[in-house]
Amino acid sequence: MLLPAVEIRDLTKTYGMIRAIDGLTLNINQGEIFGLLGPNGSGKTTTMKIISGILKPDSGHIRVLGFDPVQEPILVKNRIGYVPETPTLYESLTVRDFFEFVSSVRKLDKGSTATKVEALTKAFLLTDYFDSPIASLSLGNRQKVSIIAAFLHDPQLLLFDEPLNGLDARSGKILKDLMSHHAEKGGTVVFSTHIMEIAEHVCKNIGIIYRGRLIAQGSINDLRRYSDNQETLEEVFLKLTNEKDTIEDTIKVLKNALG
């Protein structure tokens, strides 16, 4: 039996007086695309950073592919590809130099990596920018650079925090297909998104976080049962996060105000 890709028990993380993660318990299986959903400020990004080993939790248990990201950060980082919500790239480097830097740090084979880089940059229409400084790139093209870098070492686990930010429809479709291909090969993808339709069609399982706690987890059909068999994931999400009635009241006020 395979170990869970991510196993979290009673995780907590605070920033001053704010408790971003409040006793979070979550299991993510290997070989699946798992969607992490929640309102702004619910703890999604903090959870991603803890899984990747960037942040240390205050308390609780976490294992990533069987390793502790706090005690064994290098072993975890070697096995994951991470695209943060706001990519942090070396802006003075060209795209070419950045990929060579990533390849060097990860000690990848130059030949096979060059083949991957060529295929991915062509797919994401980055070839014309290959020798441009990253500082000169648009938000969407920077996102593409970050995504390509995450794939280069063929990680077991991909962590994508709002990966579609700034991407055009073509690039978004390619990324979704790459995520599916990664899962078909036995890899795992964890990604957060505000676009419910994408989560509904791409994810095998979904976890909904609210105020730092997991309030629902399962397939789309499982989640519908949490919420009176609501038809769409958006309706389920709004019902579970107590936002549906608030939105309806807000719309009524706006309609009256705007005439």
Say what the pTM is: 0.90
- Per-residue model confidence as pLDDT tens digits over 178-188: 999 999 999 99
Scanning the structure block, which residue is given the tokens 């998104």?
193
Q: Domains, the chain, ranges and CATH? A: 6-79+155-258 (3.40.50.300), 90-154 (no CATH)
Q: What is the pLDDT of residue 227?
A: 67
Rounded CA separation 80/156 (Å)? 6
Given the DSSP bridges, would you call strands 213-218 and 80-83 parallel, antiparallel or unpaired?
unpaired
163: pLDDT confidence band, cut at 50, 70 and 90? very high
Rounded CA separation 206/67 (Å)? 23
Radius of gyration over every alpha carbon of the chain, rounded to an integer in angstroms = 19
80: pLDDT confidence band, cut at 50, 70 and 90? very high
Residue 231 has pLDDT above 80, yes or no: no
Question: Could you give the angle at which helices 139-151 and 169-184 cross, rounded to 10 degrees?
Answer: 10
CB 154 within 8 A of CB 117: no
